[in-house]
Amino acid sequence: MPYLKGWDIVLVSQSPRRRQLLGDLGLPYRVASSTGDEMYPTTLEKEEIPIYLSRQKAEHNEVQLGPHTLIIAADTIVWHQGQVLGKPANVAEAKEMLSSLAGQVHKVITGVTLRDLHRTVSFSSETEVEFVSLTSDEIDYYVDHFCPLDKAGAYGIQEWIGMMGVKRIVGCYYNVMGLPVPQLYKELKNWKSD
């Protein structure tokens, strides 16, 4: 990537999907962990939640900000029927989430925060996803053979359930994976040092 030469890019995320997507963008980066929790005020709704969480990650991490350090932090939620579906706590909760999404439309919303020494910028991306009706056998198969516990809404669109179960998406596919790459690229392209 021809932009941000000389910058120390830090991705604050444990998500292997975000790491892959950022690497595929051709951006050299290193990974850091967040020292904050994933709690948010109960008054927040929809895109306010992942934006808040991404800002928390950008502000509470193990990175020492230098003059050319740029932090990228992101958080993804599934918004369905007026409530948040985050990462399931266990297999039973994963199956319950997938059953609630089957045959329905939901929104996947990712909040991204960029931070350097001088400023913090946050934005969000929303993608509408419609699932076909899923049988209990299909849900069991997915949960038994894949890793739904580390994914918002208990599914990865790039996995088996996305291949056979997603009827339609409106918006950015990569956003559903956890990082709205086209929007992020646009922001990074215009990022300048003060």
Catalytic status, residue 150: no
Crossing angle for the helix pair 91-101 and 136-145, nearest 10 degrees?
140
Catalytic residue among 24, 75, 137, 194: 75
Instruction: Show the CA angle centred on residue 113, arms to residues 187 and 31, nearest 5°.
Output: 100
- Sign of the C-alpha dihedral computed for residues 51, 56, 57 and 63 taken in this order: positive
- Please name the amino acid found at residue 152: A
Residues recognised as catalytic: 75
